[in-house]
């Protein structure tokens, strides 16, 4: 018995299914290619940023040129408050509520505690501030992700530098508002291969050390009581990225900081 030949309709349907699969596969490959290109561009941009920053550090290791013009300006009367430290300090806006202080911000992005220690006299002590809000340390500790074998030394150096900065400020007569190192936020998928949860553990370790520095001229400000999501990370609504805060995060911090400043200004 001779079987009937496939109809033209059945052949066309099969061809359509093959074409549909090919189109889906092509779109999938195009999406993967686009994601790969975008990811590589992000990584390239990040690498270029670090390269430029490395060059800037070689030219001015402590960042002393950053606020050189400010140091030459005459200061108006009244007690002075300096925000001092790394990018987290630099991004900290003045409280909207009255503080009783004139406020100057001398934070510098990317700086480690070693660099901040090098400029504490020029960018803080020389201004004769009544108070300094000090936030620093995360740029030291985040390097643990790339250098896990040096973890102990990185933590020890961070603690020693912060202790020296605090001692230098307090011995000059300044009241130090010592801010705990902000916890880590959500690490993006692109950064996760280059990240380690041990950074968060080191942040907690150094914060425990900072508590031992509190004294007559050193007020501990536990920022993480304000920022914590209950699981050891910064609340998502406060995150700009895994290291930095949006305005809402700083607004929440300022709401707790202003009463502390009020006790110092009296």
Q: Residue 137, exposed/middle/buried by CB under 10 A (0-12, 13-18, 19+)?
A: buried
In what helix (H) or strand (E) does residue 132 lie, and over which residues does it extend?
A: strand 131-135
Given the structure tokens 């007569």, which residue do they identify?
173
The number of beta carbons lying within 10 Å of the beta carbon of residue 199 is: 20
- Are 206 and 137 in contact by the 8 Å Cβ rule? The answer is yes
State pLDDT tens for residues 198-216.
999 999 999 999 999 999 9
pLDDT score recorded for residue 37: 76
Distance CA 144, CA 82 (A): 29
pLDDT score recorded for residue 7: 52
Q: What is the pTM of this model?
A: 0.82
pLDDT score recorded for residue 110: 95
Given the structure tokens 């009937």, which residue do they identify?
4
The number of beta carbons lying within 10 Å of the beta carbon of residue 68 is: 12
pLDDT score recorded for residue 248: 98
pLDDT beneath 50: ranges in the chain: none
pLDDT score recorded for residue 2: 53
pLDDT score recorded for residue 28: 77
Distance CA 142, CA 152 (A): 13
State pLDDT tens for residues 137-190.
999 999 999 999 999 999 999 999 999 999 999 999 999 999 999 999 999 988
Residues with Cβ < 8 Å from 148, sequence gap 6 or more? 196, 198
Residue 19 phi/psi, 5-degree rounding, is -60, -40
């Amino acid at each position: 018995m001779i079987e009937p030949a496939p109809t033209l309709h059945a052949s066309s349907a099969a061809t359509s299914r093959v074409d549909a699969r090919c189109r889906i596969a092509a779109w999938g490959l195009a999406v993967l290619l686009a994601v790969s290109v975008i990811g590589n561009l992000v990584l390239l941009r990040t690498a270029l940023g670090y390269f430029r920053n490395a060059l800037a550090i070689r030219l001015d290791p402590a960042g002393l040129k950053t606020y050189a013009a400010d140091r030459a300006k005459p200061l108006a009367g009244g007690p002075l408050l300096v925000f001092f430290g790394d990018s987290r300090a630099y991004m900290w806006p003045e409280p909207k509520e009255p503080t009783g202080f004139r406020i100057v911000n001398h934070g510098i992005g990317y700086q480690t505690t070693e660099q901040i220690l090098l400029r504490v006299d020029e960018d803080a002590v020389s201004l004769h501030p009544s108070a300094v809000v000090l936030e620093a340390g995360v740029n030291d500790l985040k390097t643990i992700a790339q250098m896990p074998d040096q973890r102990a030394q990185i933590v020890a150096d961070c603690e020693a530098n912060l202790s020296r900065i605090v001692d230098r400020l307090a011995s000059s007569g300044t009241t130090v508002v010592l801010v705990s190192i902000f916890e880590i936020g959500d690490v993006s998928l692109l950064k996760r291969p280059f990240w380690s949860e041990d950074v968060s553990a080191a942040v907690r370790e150094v914060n425990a050390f900072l508590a031992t520095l509190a004294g007559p001229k050193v007020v501990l400000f536990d920022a993480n009581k304000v920022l914590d999501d209950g699981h050891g990370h910064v609340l998502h609504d406060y995150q700009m990225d895994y290291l930095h805060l949006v305005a809402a995060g700083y607004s929440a911090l300022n709401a707790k900081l202003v009463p502390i400043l009020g006790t110092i200004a009296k």
